[in-house]
Structure 1
Amino acid sequence: MVQYLVALVPTFLVLAFFCLGPFNWSRRHTWTRAVTCAFVAAVALRYMFWRLTETVLPYPNNGASFYWVWILFVVEILACVEVILFLVLMSRYVDRSAEADRLARGFFARDKRELPTVDVFIPTYNEPLDVLERTIIGARSLDYPPDKLNVYVLDDQRRDWLKAYCEEKNVIHVMRGDNNHAKAGNMNNGLKVSSGEFIAVFDADFVPYRHFLRRTLPFFCDESIGIVQTPQHFFNADPVQSNLGLENIWPDEQRLFFDEIAPSRDAWDVSFCCGSCSIARRKSIDAIGGFPTESITEDLLTTLSMLNKGYKTRYLNERLSMGLAAENLTGYFVQRERWCQGGIQTLYLHNGPLRGPGLTLFQRIMFLPASWLVQYLVRFMILLVPIVYLWFGLLPLYFTDIADYVSHQVPLLAAYFLLMLWITPTRYLPVISSAVGTFATFRMLPTVVSSLVRPFGKPFRVTPKGSGNESNQFDRYSFAWIASIIMITVLGLLVNIVPETAHVQGQFSPVAAWWSGINIVVLLIASLICFEKPRRLFHAFKLDEPAIVDDVPGQIVSLALDKAVVAVPTMSRFQSKSVVLKLPGFAPFKSELRLVTQRRRSISRGGDKQSYYLHLYFELIGSARDSMIVKLYTGQYSQDIRDIDKVAVSLNLLLRSFGRTRTL
């Protein structure tokens, strides 16, 4: 017992450090981040030194076991390198909102006639009108002098109906004779027909907030700035949130990058363009010969090409737009496979991180696609290690005793998890974050391998969005992998419980059993993501604003382009299903009352028994629809999740495992 207590001392020291230090410090100060990241790096290096000197080098060269130990150690080295790079990156943080305030005061103090001209590019391929109309109306509504602003809809499918819609909305419709180089080629064609000094780019499913230009343009007072990137926020739940039943209580998958990693990259001057929700200086685009066409991720390559010419990318971490997250697993993997392949492609290009001129050594390292190359391999090996031990008896390391293992690996795991909980308190829970990464592994690892072997083997694919993507699907491929690994792991445990059939006996067996149990839990959560739920075409925003239904006063609690939910007193009565809805700023319009409910579905609240909830459906057209788009999508509301309710997350996962969900 004393031996194990002594083995836990390093873990207690890690806990003490975080309790006495980081958990009492602001995570936005550079010195607190640097000290904390340095501490975790020291713990990681201590572990790797132990692995090399005590568990790898002493292992006898006895065939398969020897090579297995070294293979795993090489994978751990890769993982350690990625972790160290992550710690270096996260040791800094910058918030440029105050800088934006200061720059804006001077920038917009000038006469409006002296403001620069801006072109808004909306590249589109196959998106339907229900997606495009929001972006077009939002771009047209930007708070900027109309004579200084032009909106270009770059149509790569040459659609007559879209041309007619653009003419109706007084924006410029642009077509070209071919689809060469996909999105990059489309935008390069836009450069030929436009002349604005700055170019804002919004994908067809992203709606700019009205003050987007007022917050971003002032940064270009610095002539070395080529691009200003802003975060991508979403008004719908991504497939992970939706399929786990965590729509309103778990943040979308990209929040970790845009809210935490991107500001840290900016602090090191290694921020990069993410395509949509960005604005670029035309002069800098001209300097690199237009948007690069060599990679399917033209946005990342644009940043690298500009760095070659001395232009930097700035990141302003403010919510200045909203868009559609991938609406189903098909779109989810189309996006991520494209990002992965494009990142790996840069390794082979003359203007990439390895060969691009003008880059510092630090920039070259930080633009390597290390995360894509390492994370899925590591996750797969984590699943494989206990299986190989249980079925073949191959140890992953030269094992001395459990106490030694606990003394070195447990402190590392504790340090990393505590760091993530401190540095990203509303974006990370170990089990769920691991489950999401594990779920993606089975499709992404083959993409990594194929991209290394044939980096230019797959063409650009557009993420499917909008109408036509509302149905539910089932990811058979990922589920088959998950179910198979769970079955093999469980059978391995059962076989080794019975002495007559046991393959392995030794001190590592309890570790393998514990490891297997964690893997099974993670895989079970990952399996839930394979089952998609049907989703609405238009997404509702939570509100608390006055409304009148047939002269009965109430409060809007939810509003979408085609539906409103209004709370009214229980004594209210209506003569028919056809009612008139009055909203502030809108002329009264007819709605259909399809449903009345009394209790709201909620985990934490029992519902308001003093109110009826009227579910009203309507169809707005013309200027009324445009006004509703501006109201909903251009800055008044958001779907951001400010904090993680761990109890609600646990309950929803439990309910989802039985095919049910409840949301706050």
Structure 2
Amino acid sequence: MLELHPTEQQSAYAVVAIVFGVALVTPFVLRRETVSHRVLIFAVAIVLSARYIVWRATETLAPFGATWDCLVTWSFFLIEAAALVSSFSAFVILMRRKNRSPEATAARNWWRPAPPPKVAVLIATYNEEKEVLARTIAGAKALEHPHTVVYVLDDGRRDWLADYCREQAVNYLRRPDNKGSKAGNLNHAVAWLTERGEVPDFVAVLDADFVPHRNFLTRALALFHRHNVGLVQTPQHFFNPDPIQHNLGLSRSYPDEQRFFFDHLQPSRDGWDIAFCCGTSSVVRWTALVDVGGFPTESVTEDFLMTLVLEAKGWHTAYLNEALTEGLAPEGLREYVTQRARWCLGLMQIVRSDYGPFSLRMPLRLRDRWSVLDSLLYWVTTYPFRLAAFIYPLLYWYFGTIAVYASVPEILSHFGAYYVWTLFALNFISRGLVIPIVNDVSQLLGAIPIIRATWTGLIRPKNRSFKVTAKGGDRSQFVVQWRMMAPFLILAALTLVGLFVGFLSDRFVFSDAGEGKSIVLFWSLYNLMTLAVTMMVCVEMPRIESHLDDRPQRVLMRLDDGLHRVWLTDLTQQSALVRGVVLAEGSPVEISVRDVGDVSGYVIETTPDGGLISLDTTDRQYEALLRRLYAEGSAPGVTRTRIGAILHDLVFGSHVR
């Protein structure tokens, strides 16, 4: 490779400096909500990305031929280029954004002077515990909208749940089989309502672990003032940390992995009128549901397919980006990965169906085909590229073959400029949700099963089983997911051994690969850091229930010696943590909890300035407590990144009780 002249090297460094400087100034000049400003930001990202990939294609590849170098450089380039095509599509989608909150406010009670529409709330359940279902049922019963009827759809056929529903005065439905999985369960309820003439105007769908806020229906129904809206989707928020947040101790400083999608990508998709149904936390118009023949069963992700089925009949999906429900994120790492692999498999089934991007059997709009194609590109390209980025550097350490022939200044000028601006653009519009290494970890964890699901879905899409995401259960023990950790442990070991052998044998020092070897060195060190964090996530930390939206508040507590004003710092379905008083273990107490009343309990653990209290609620108080914890307030947990807090939590830890 030709060496760069010193002036050219300075020019290369100047490019990165200019891009970095513009990125620092831009937040003071442009607004993330303005479409023209977003177009400008992502147009620059596309230009820099195109500049980078053209340079890669023309300057960094080995000549064509039957050589190992040709195979390595061109295969990695094609994987990277495919991932970049997916990025281009995402950049275009993110250029727009729609905020429907003002529309929902203006159209509130659009049905007047007619009476409020009737809504059937369908809670689909399979094997969830009573504690999980109790939250959802309590929230559904507390919905503000009148003419609401709650139905619990039990695919587990559990007698205790039938008894519990009877106690709670909600309807209980079961069917003789599990055909069609969740979609089949919902369709059974639709048929049951039709047969009995209990036809609602709208159907709200909730997963068993998702609790609606009181205003869920009043806000979502407002968007149906447009008669061509068939479905309204709202975001999913979570009152517990996902495995990445929890196992890294970032529950209080780093948002859950789905925040970028629900808070930023879906509103942008809605700007293009291609937002899609995500199952739970959605409301569908009954006439639209009947028009399309119920919920589709051709895919294990019936939600995305539902949007396409509706669209083919002229019904649109609207997205209301407000925290109107909150649910339980996957608590275990295996469940977390299984859920994402299921999403991938379902998308591949859609691609192979009549609603695929290249099928002409259904009258889909061009933008709907783009919507499916964008999702296809994401699943098919992102995860292979993430895995390849950890494998290809090993080829240098063991075989002396470099995947990218380039000098450090060239990499900085092309990749550096593209990477800095892309990172800035995504963080500018998302308020800092895209963090290097942590973001890589979330993709690397699921890379192998998702790649497997991709090809399984494309080659053999039919007759795939629906794997329910397990929720609840005992999570109080340390668990090392050795099987999941094994590939990352092997990659880390191979990288470390490669580095050691490379330096020990002088292969690195005396290599004729020019500055390319320095790039591989930095690349390998970055990979080691990412693999280390990934393996940390594979060590599952104990979980004891906590609600991430808890805020300290002053309350009254009665002890044997009278009333005390204390701080209530943590509240769960079974316990309360207080500060500001000396407590004796085992002593009885009575604590006043807002919206719940005076609750009896006893001290089960003492602290220097307080203690943990086990609550002994009555049935009425327990239901009120569930409503207080899960059916009220704004978004639970963290919705934006705070770098200082992340660094603090990484160093000192922040695992909640």
TM-score interval for Structure 1 and Structure 2 normalised by the shorter chain = over 0.9
After TM superposition, list the pairs within 5 Å mapping 1:31-180 onto structure 2: 31-56=36-61, 59-104=63-108, 106-107=109-110, 110-111=112-113, 114-145=115-146, 148-180=147-179
Give, as a single letter, the amino acid of the residue that structure 2 aligns with 1:492.
G
Within the candidate set 523, 546, 553, 2:565 is matched to 553
Go from structure 1 to structure 2 and tell me whether the alpha carbon gap of 1:400 and 1:521 turns closer, same or farther (over 3 Å shift).
closer
Give the equivalent residue in structure 2 for 1:609. Answer: none
Go from structure 1 to structure 2 and tell me whether the alpha carbon gap of 1:446 and 1:574 turns closer, same or farther (over 3 Å shift).
closer
The superposition leaves residues 189-220 of structure 1 with CA deviations (integer Å, 9 ceiling, x where unpaired) of: 01012211100000000000011111011111
1:354 deviation in Å? 2.8
1:351 deviation in Å? 2.6
- Are 2:306 and 1:299 aligned? no
Within the candidate set 612, 621, 624, 2:621 is matched to 624
Within the candidate set 383, 392, 402, 1:395 is matched to 402
1:575 deviation in Å? 10
After TM superposition, list the pairs within 5 Å mapping 1:508-547 onto structure 2: 508-537=516-545, 539=547, 541-547=549-555
More relative contact order, 1 or 2 (CA 8 Å, 6+ apart)? 2
Compare 408-417 and 8-17 and name the one that shifted more: 8-17
1:505 deviation in Å? 3.5
Question: Would you say the 8 A contact 2:233–2:283 is kept in 1?
Answer: yes
Give the equivalent residue in structure 1 for 2:232. Answer: 228
CA distance in 2, matches of 1:11, 1:461: 46
Question: Would you say the 8 A contact 1:496–1:504 is kept in 2?
Answer: no
1:499 deviation in Å? 4.6
Give the equivalent residue in structure 2 for 1:647. Answer: 644
Give the equivalent residue in structure 1 for 2:35. Answer: 30
Give, as a single letter, the amino acid of the residue that structure 2 aligns with 1:416.
T
1:268 deviation in Å? 0.5
1:541 deviation in Å? 4.5
After TM superposition, list the pairs within 5 Å mapping 1:245-260 onto structure 2: 245-260=249-264
Go from structure 1 to structure 2 and tell me whether the alpha carbon gap of 1:193 and 1:662 turns closer, same or farther (over 3 Å shift).
closer
1:456 deviation in Å? 2.9
CA distance in 2, matches of 1:59, 1:412: 25
After TM superposition, list the pairs within 5 Å mapping 1:287-366 onto structure 2: 287-355=291-359, 357-366=362-371
Question: Would you say the 8 A contact 1:426–1:642 is kept in 2?
Answer: no
* Partner SS state of residue 580, structure 2: strand
Q: Calculate the TM-score normalised by the size of structure 1.
A: 0.92
Unmatched runs of 5 consecutive residues or more in structure 1: 599-611
Unmatched runs of 5 consecutive residues or more in structure 2: 1-5, 194-198
Question: Would you say the 8 A contact 1:466–1:537 is kept in 2?
Answer: no
Go from structure 1 to structure 2 and tell me whether the alpha carbon gap of 1:234 and 1:400 turns closer, same or farther (over 3 Å shift).
closer
* Partner SS state of residue 342, structure 1: helix
Q: Calculate the TM-score normalised by the size of structure 2.
A: 0.93
The superposition leaves residues 499-546 of structure 1 with CA deviations (integer Å, 9 ceiling, x where unpaired) of: 555594322111110111111111111111100012125646423333
Give, as a single letter, the amino acid of the residue that structure 2 aligns with 1:443.
P
CA distance in 1, matches of 2:491, 2:623: 51
1:638 deviation in Å? 4.5
CA distance in 2, matches of 1:310, 1:646: 45
Go from structure 1 to structure 2 and tell me whether the alpha carbon gap of 1:62 and 1:540 turns closer, same or farther (over 3 Å shift).
closer
Compare 275-284 and 74-83 and name the one that shifted more: 74-83
* Partner SS state of residue 367, structure 1: helix
Go from structure 1 to structure 2 and tell me whether the alpha carbon gap of 1:169 and 1:663 turns closer, same or farther (over 3 Å shift).
closer
1:23 deviation in Å? 4.8
1:322 deviation in Å? 0.7
Give the equivalent residue in structure 1 for 2:220. Answer: 216
1:440 deviation in Å? 2.2
Question: Would you say the 8 A contact 2:45–2:422 is kept in 1?
Answer: yes
Give the equivalent residue in structure 2 for 1:181. Answer: 180
Question: Would you say the 8 A contact 2:93–2:268 is kept in 1?
Answer: yes
Give the equivalent residue in structure 2 for 1:463. Answer: 469
- Are 2:279 and 1:272 aligned? no
Give the equivalent residue in structure 2 for 1:196. Answer: 200
CA distance in 2, matches of 1:587, 1:662: 29
Q: CA RMSD in A?
A: 2.1
Compare 68-77 and 282-291 and name the one that shifted more: 68-77
1:54 deviation in Å? 2.2
Give, as a single letter, the amino acid of the residue that structure 2 aligns with 1:32.
H
Compare 367-376 and 452-461 and name the one that shifted more: 452-461
> What is the aligned residue count?
638
* Partner SS state of residue 202, structure 1: strand
Question: Would you say the 8 A contact 1:379–1:437 is kept in 2?
Answer: yes
Give, as a single letter, the amino acid of the residue that structure 2 aligns with 1:107.
W
Question: Would you say the 8 A contact 1:541–1:558 is kept in 2?
Answer: no
CA distance in 1, matches of 2:477, 2:288: 43
1:349 deviation in Å? 0.6
* Partner SS state of residue 283, structure 1: helix
User: % of aligned pairs identical?
Assistant: 31
Compare 464-473 and 482-491 and name the one that shifted more: 464-473
Give the equivalent residue in structure 2 for 1:566. Answer: 578
CA distance in 1, matches of 2:410, 2:586: 75
CA distance in 2, matches of 1:153, 1:301: 23
1:81 deviation in Å? 0.6
Question: Would you say the 8 A contact 2:234–2:324 is kept in 1?
Answer: yes
CA distance in 1, matches of 2:431, 2:569: 28
Compare 197-206 and 218-227 and name the one that shifted more: 218-227
- Are 2:383 and 1:376 aligned? yes
CA distance in 2, matches of 1:45, 1:354: 26
